[in-house]
Amino acid sequence: MKLRLIAVGKLKKGPEASLVEDYLARARPLLRRMGFSALEVVELPESRARDAAGRQRAEAAAIRKAAGEGALMLLLDERGRQPDSRALSELLQQRARSGAARLAIVIGGPDGVDAALRERAAEVIAFGRLTWPHRLVRVMLAEQLYRAATIAAHHPYLRD
């Protein structure tokens, strides 16, 4: 299964981009052991539509296209359920064994995501109820992917 991280907005060079690169580089070999044959990052431009609803619709269309036909979608949204790291690892392991060709993990734009896209998602999860800047969400997602992969590999990175 291919793992595709889809984010609306471009992460500029800086400390956040360095952290994301570092965590993803560490995660890649462990994610392969989990059953993910590839890890891709897709950055989509923010919509320039006049209103929030229009931006959400345009970005949702771009996200669906980037995810690809038949992809499972895990959406990050503050209204989602809040798994702990072990539960996220188990969820990713289950998805890797599902037989689907691709899992798309999605970070929407500043206006959030279109309700229809949220309904299409196989899972909606949150990193808490707080609102986070997108660049920090990218860092947290990369770190949690690394943590999930270390949990699956029985590596001592997570200390309970």
**Two tokens, residue 74:** 């895990």
Say if residues 85 and 147 touch (Cβ distance below 8 Å): yes
* The predicted structure's pLDDT at residue 37: 94
Q: How far apart (Å, rounded) are the C-alpha atoms in residues 17 and 152?
A: 25
Q: How far apart (Å, rounded) are the C-alpha atoms in residues 35 and 41?
A: 17
* The predicted structure's pLDDT at residue 40: 96
Say if residues 94 and 61 touch (Cβ distance below 8 Å): no
* The predicted structure's pLDDT at residue 124: 97
pLDDT band at residue 155 under the 50/70/90 scheme: confident
pLDDT band at residue 131 under the 50/70/90 scheme: confident
Is it true that domain 2-152 has CATH number 3.40.1280.10? yes
Q: Over the stretch 74-96, which tens digit does the pLDDT of each residue have? A: 999 989 999 999 999 999 999 99
Q: Over the stretch 35-58, which tens digit does the pLDDT of each residue have? A: 999 999 999 999 999 999 999 999
Structural domain spans, the chain: 2-152
